[in-house]
């Protein structure tokens, strides 16, 4: 069995993909497979990726455009590794990342390893910030659900109660939920049917991790910074934020999808996790009110009651 399956969901990232692939190939760890999911790209992505087909551990699969979540799902279904790593192809990883994270995972046979990253604001002259958490091991699913999961799903009731202490809220209570911060044990994902919700934008990583945390028995954190996350003003996220109607649709979809995760925890643990994201619902509602005032009445979305 391969140690790590690296999944790269690609849509029109031809200008970045070589940097990402090279950062993997230059690692001091070789027991991995790279699964490139071409999600209906219209640029010269396949031409560039074709240069890497000489490597036996790199596979390229092409699908019609289905979106990021489903592209990741296709990769997960194709993966054969003991662990799975979801890698955004416009970013890159640091030397030694794969060996360090895999060795940590094997150290305690952990269901996941969580590590630090660097945020780089490319359009602002390369301004960057490092984010990492102190080394720790969360053992037992109840501890993960009670102590770890609330940091990722949303703004909790406790967060609202301490809203005045913003340093506490955003630096100690909250964690960036992107899946590229984690190495996941594939068997936990597959056996518990943990996949991304197709069609979801902005919240897909939060929802995926919340589902994973519902079943995980052990998660180790590392304080090393291994991942380089690029933010561009003209990226997909910032484009969606400037599109008011799309943002409204995404906010409503986020509420709907979180309700599915809430049902999962009720069915699995007889536990209501609404308090873990009640603040997010409140803030989203406020943002919706503001955004809806900018839309013509005939274009307002239909809400289901």
Q: Where are the domains of the chain?
A: 4-299
Whole-structure pTM value: 0.88
Q: For residue 43, what pLDDT is reported?
A: 97
Question: Per-residue pLDDT tens for 60-104?
Answer: 999 999 999 999 999 999 999 999 999 999 999 999 999 999 999
Give 34's strand partners.
6, 58
In CATH, 4-299 is 3.90.550.10 = yes
Q: Which distant-in-sequence residues (6+ apart) come within 8 Å of 299 by Cβ?
A: 245
The C-alpha atoms of residue 159 and residue 1 are separated, in whole angstroms, by: 43
**Phi, then psi, of 219 in degrees rounded to 5:** -140, 125
The candidate with the shortest Cα–Cα distance to 24, out of 37, 41, 7, is 7
Question: Per-residue pLDDT tens for 196-215?
Answer: 998 887 789 999 999 999 99
């Amino acid at each position: 069995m391969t140690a790590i399956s690296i999944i790269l969901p690609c849509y029109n990232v031809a200008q970045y993909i070589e940097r990402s692939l090279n950062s993997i190939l230059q690692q001091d760890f070789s027991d991995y497979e790279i699964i490139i999911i071409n999600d209906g790209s219209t640029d010269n992505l396949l031409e560039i990726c074709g240069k890497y087909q000489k490597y036996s551990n790199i596979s390229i699969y092409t699908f019609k455009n289905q979106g990021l979540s489903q592209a990741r799902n296709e990769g997960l279904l194709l993966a054969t590794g003991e662990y799975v790593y979801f890698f955004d192809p416009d970013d890159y990883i640091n030397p030694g990342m794969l060996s360090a994270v895999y060795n940590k995972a094997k150290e305690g046979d952990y269901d996941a390893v969580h590590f630090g990253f660097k945020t780089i604001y490319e359009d602002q002259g390369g301004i960057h910030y490092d984010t990492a958490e102190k080394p720790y091991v969360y053992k037992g699913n109840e501890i993960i659900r009670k102590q770890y999961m609330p940091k990722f799903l949303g703004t909790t009731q406790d967060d609202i109660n301490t809203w005045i202490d913003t340093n506490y809220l955003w630096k100690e209570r909250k964690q960036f939920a992107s899946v590229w911060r984690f190495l996941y044990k594939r068997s936990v994902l597959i056996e518990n049917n943990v996949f991304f919700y197709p069609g979801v934008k902005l919240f897909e990583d939060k929802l995926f991790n919340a589902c994973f945390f519902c079943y995980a028995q052990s998660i180790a954190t590392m304080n090393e910074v291994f991942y380089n996350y690029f933010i561009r003003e003209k990226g997909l996220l910032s484009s969606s934020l400037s599109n008011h109607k799309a943002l409204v649709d995404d906010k409503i979809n986020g509420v709907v999808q979180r309700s599915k995760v809430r049902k999962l925890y009720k069915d699995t643990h007889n536990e209501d996790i609404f308090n873990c994201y009640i603040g997010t619902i409140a803030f989203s509602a406020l943002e919706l009110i503001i955004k809806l005032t900018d839309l013509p009445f005939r274009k307002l979305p239909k809400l289901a009651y």
